[in-house]
Amino acid sequence: MALSNEQLIAAANEFGTPVYVYEAEKIAEQYNKLTTAFSKTNARFFYACKALTNINILKYVQSLGANIDCVSIYEVRLALKAGFTPDRIMFTPNCVDFEEIVAGKDLGVHVNIDNIPMLEEFGNTFGNSYPICIRLNPHIMAGGNYKISTGHIDSKFGISIHQLRHVERIIESTKLNVVGLHMHTGSEIKDINVFLEGLDVMLDIAKRFPNLTFIDLGSGFKVPYKEDDVATDVDQLGSRVAKIFNDYQKEIGKELEVWFEPGKYLVSECGYFVVKANVIKTTTATVFVGVNSGFNHLIRPMFYEAYHFIENISNLSGPERIYTVVGNICETDTFAWDRKINEVRENDLLVFHNAGAYGFEMSSNFNSRLKPAEVLYLNNKAHLIRKRDTFEDLLKNEIEVL
């Protein structure tokens, strides 16, 4: 599934640019791929909503039957507002104060604790009265680059597997009821053996926790960003995980659920970011296309060196030229260097593909510029799901004292 250029142009004409456009049915397609791939395993999928938290996206994901993974108490509250029941919410905060963890507990969601001081305080405060999950750091380097790798030895995430004896002492002294173990090694993982290596580590550790009901392997499933790009083979992974889990469960005489937390995998390909070419600027070495956006709207290329396929949907038959696409921010905000794009003229519309995940979600008002609108195509109809900022939005929380 993919939105047509005509649909993207229509959205740009109706709602203006820049504009984020999402295709609901693509999210359903990705979710169905996962449920099919892991159909032989007792698997549950928790949408990592930090990728895109528009309430309409959350409601749509909820309607598909998915669960949700939250990393802040406000994401938890959004999930509840979207219709997720507490038993379908996993709460995995990092470096928060204890009150935020207690707030998650009070809302009745699955609480995932990723450091020893919080684990000890939770045990001393609540004992075995509330079941918890523990996030472990398996010391596995994985992911598209260092910034999105979360399971290596220097990561701030999780409790080191070499601190298990300390964890066991806390559990023994506080009577904590540990029902889940969690790990997440990173994003954009191409090699399924990374997941299998992590699973091997987790299953070995799981034998130490008699009350365990699930193992959460996080996610990191990669989607293609360009032609011939390698994606995670979820079908093969599902088959391998099913065999490993079935053999393990026969060995221990107990059935466990396996949980995954796909975020980018579900929403990346559903998203398109449409911008307008403001100016074509030729220098002694480079032809720049300056567009009416910047890293205030889409920071991934600058922050992660992420690739987004860029297409000129106003001039599909034009000859290919080589352009460097930049934004209108007073910083070096280069979206792409030396990219072949059909000839770009002023006011042409360019579309960035794979813009559903960590696009609008990481946007800002830097340079006092306005955040763009968001549009959802559902059943071939365009719905405005977030209004574009106005000037008044820049001032709404400010208090004038002068």
Residues annotated as part of the active site: 330
d(CA 256, CA 245): 8
Closest by CA to 85, choosing from 70, 102, 67, is 67
* Residue 43 three-state SS: strand
Question: What contacts 24+ positions apart, CB below 8 Å, involve 191-194?
Answer: 191/142, 192/232, 192/233, 192/236, 192/237, 192/240, 194/140, 194/142, 194/220
* Residue 193 three-state SS: helix
d(CA 42, CA 242): 8
Whether 268 contacts 224, CB under 8 Å: no
For 148-161, b/e burial (b = at least 16 CB within 10 A) is bbbbbeebebbbeb
Annotated binding site for substrate: 300, 304, 331, 358
Structure token digits, residue 166: 């300390």
Backbone angles phi, psi at 352, to 5 degrees: -95, 120
d(CA 163, CA 142): 21
- DSSP character string of 387-402: PPP-HHHHHTT-----
Closest by CA to 291, choosing from 220, 342, 240, 352, is 352
List C-alpha distances in Å: 400 to 234, 238, 341, 370, 390.
Answer: 54, 57, 47, 20, 19
Annotated binding site: 220, 300, 304, 331, 358
Q: How many CA atoms lie within 13 A of 393 on its CB side?
A: 11
Backbone angles phi, psi at 153, to 5 degrees: -65, -25
Phi-psi region at 127: left, alpha or beta (left = phi > 0; alpha = psi -120 to 50): left
Q: How many CA atoms lie within 13 A of 216 on its CB side?
A: 32
Annotated binding site for pyridoxal 5'-phosphate: 220, 358
